[in-house]
Amino acid sequence: MNLEMKTLCEPDGIDINTQPFILIIFGGGGDLSQKKLLPALYNLFKLNKLNNDSHIISYGRQARTQDEYKDLVKVSINKNNSEEKIDIEDNFLDKFIYLRGDSEKLEGINEINRYICNFKNIKEYQIIFYLATPPNLAKNILNLIQKLDLCGEPFKKKIIMEKPFGTDMESATQLNKCLNEIFKEDEIYRIDHYLGKETVQNILFFRFGNSIFEPLWNRSFIDHIQITVAEDIGIESRGNFYEKAGVLKDIIQNHMMQLIALVAMEPPTNFNANSIRDEKVKIFKTISNMTDEYMSENFVLGQYSAGKTNNEDVISYRNEKNVEENSNTGTFFAGKFNIDNWRWAGVPFYIRAGKRLNQKLSEIVITFKTPPLKLFGNACRDMLANELIFTIQPEERISLSMNMKYPGIENYPHPVEMNFNYSKLKLISISAYERLIIDCIKGDLTLFSRQDGIEEMWRILDPIVNHFNKNKSDLLRYPAGSWGPEKSKLLLEKDNRKWRI
């Protein structure tokens, strides 16, 4: 059963009527820039969403001529484009200038100053700094930014920072302190690309825009909630990063906490950025610190061993490049979280995330309570609970499962699904990075994390990281291509529940 979208009025589309900007990308030749930023910027250019007078400065360590960098831009866009090879327009390439410099030294900063000073009416531009660099370089880059005087002219500035933001509560607090010496809070855009995905954004609209669901969104009607962020790939070439972060800092501290908050938050007073972020922070504060005994019983940390993924043999995590031979870094996590407030008391939130799992899947499953009586006899003893499923990847869709009578003379239940799939809409869709870049240009902070939210998420995660650091024997191995350690299934089975997949 599919849902059709009825449109009472045509949307106006994405309208960006902003001042021109100068985007300064630290790490402009790096992996993130090539895979995400450059393709996103080109797609926005093709949609006429970039101001014609805007310019992009790429700042990197490697020596490149301007033509060599433009070639890199063209290769990156085509490599990450699902369509046939495209000819990149010169009007787009002419927006770029490549400047060589070391993010740990002052080299190159004076050149940025000189370049920007060539612009007339610098006051009319907003200067956006994008840190597409490893997290450990953040403080050094902030020191460089602080030394930019931009011709002594006052200017509107913003900064975009990638996750992970800090490595623990203490470092995140220190990083926020450094940021606040240069930027105001409403100039700081802490990015989490998951929040730019349409299905994630639609959680709020689905809840608060439909009166048939919001009254049911509580402990009286919902049995439990599952959130899965599974990848079938390994760590690829990110061994150095993953050894420091692991699944806990790479996925749980940011993506997972944000998804929990969106599902669990109270209705905001309005849909402005601070009202929504206020409610998310309240949810973080209701997740209290847990004892070691609770974590041993309800949390699972795993690491993939050799196995088979997509019918191909793959190596173990410990055999990946730049990984310690006896590494205790987790690549899988599952756990049960409780939210201590009136709405969610007694409703467990089961989460799991990992690398080299059975399939690529990100979804949120709202499982409602089953009817209290079996009115239709033993034939219906296997009647399934209603489920509302927000699928984020591999495709973005929302589905609702219901029980119907199977056609015929017998009373047998038959589960059916109502599906809403974004791919079926003939609308212009944009990627998560495109959406978040647009929001920064517009000055919309709704989908970005605030300082207090970041610190609360680390407050939740730090005890979990410390627990597994103290109990290294709790790290469980699982074969690549599976759904993680067997204990992750038992988390639900001991509560008479099971993972949807």
Query: Is pLDDT at 412 greater than 60 in this prediction?
Result: yes
Instruction: Give yes or no for a contact between 151 and 121, defined as CB atoms under 8 angstroms apart.
Output: no
Please tell me whether residues 309 and 458 are part of one structural domain: yes
Residue type present at position 241: F
The tens digit of pLDDT for each residue in 273-329 reads 899 999 999 999 999 889 999 999 999 999 999 999 888 999 999 999 999 999 999
Identity (one letter) of the amino acid at 248? Answer: L
Q: Rounded to two decimals, what is the model's pTM?
A: 0.90
Determine the longest span between alpha carbons in the chain, in angstroms: 83
Would you say residue 17 has pLDDT above 60? no
Whether 265 and 353 map to the same domain: the answer is yes
Query: Which residues carry out catalysis?
Result: 255
Q: Is residue 122 part of a domain?
A: yes
d(Cα 29, Cα 64) in Å, to the nearest integer?
10
189 with 179: CB under 8 angstroms?
no
Residue 425, domain CATH: 3.30.360.10
Residues 153 and 216 in one domain: no
The pLDDT score that the predictor gives to residue 8 is 47
| pLDDT-based confidence at residue 106 (cuts at 50, 70, 90) | low
- Check whether 13 has a pLDDT greater than 60: no
pLDDT of residue 144: 83
- On whether residue 498 sits in a domain, the answer given is no
Mind listing the pLDDT tens digit for each residue in 273-286?
899 999 999 999 99
Whether residues 241 and 152 fall in one domain: no
> Are residues 232 and 134 both part of a single domain?
no
- Distance, in Å, from the CA atom of 129 to the CA atom of 126, rounded to the nearest integer, reads 10
141 and 209 both lie in a single domain: no
* Residues 98 and 199 occupy one common structural domain: no
Find where tokens 């920072």 sit: 161
Q: Identify any residues that bridge with 228 across adjacent strands, giving them in sequence order.
A: 352, 363
Q: Residue 85 belongs to a domain with what CATH number?
A: 3.40.50.720
Per the domain annotation, does 336 fall within a domain?
yes
More confident residue, 434 or 151: 434
Asked if residue 361 and residue 285 are part of one domain, the reply reads: yes
What pLDDT does 139 receive? 87
Task: Give domain status of residue 474, yes or no.
Answer: yes
Angle between helices 451-470 and 273-286 (to 10 degrees): 30
Q: Is the pLDDT of residue 82 over 80?
A: no
Pairing of strands 222-230, 349-354: parallel
Please, which residues have CB within 8 angstroms of residue 29's CB and are 6 or more apart in sequence?
58, 60, 61, 62, 64, 69, 72, 98
> Do residue 238 and residue 314 come from a single domain?
yes
Residue 104 lies in a domain: yes
Among residues 156, 136, 130, which one has the least CA distance to residue 59? 130
pLDDT tens string 30-72: 888 988 999 999 999 988 888 888 899 998 888 899 999 999 9
Residue 374 falls inside a structural domain: yes
Number of domains in the chain: 2
Q: Which of 77-86, 201-210, 453-462 has the highest mean pLDDT?
A: 453-462
Share of the chain above pLDDT 70, in %: 89
Among the listed residues 385, 388, 389, the one whose alpha carbon sits nearest the alpha carbon of residue 415:
385
Question: 158 and 199, same structural domain?
Answer: no
Instruction: For residue 209, give the amino acid letter.
Output: G
Question: pLDDT value at position 4?
Answer: 53
Which domain covers residue 379, as residue numbers? 195-430+450-493
CA nearest 86: which of 76, 78, 98?
78
- pLDDT on residue 382: 65
Same domain, 153 and 213: no
Residue 251 confidence class, pLDDT cut points 50, 70, 90: very high
What is the rounded distance in angstroms from the CA atom of residue 413 to the CA atom of residue 176? 55
The whole-chain average pLDDT of the chain stands at: 87
Same structural domain, 415 and 483: yes
Give a yes or no: residue 167 inside a domain. Answer: no
> How confident is the model over 193-214, as a mean pLDDT?
85
Of 139, 162, 185, the residue that ends a domain is 162
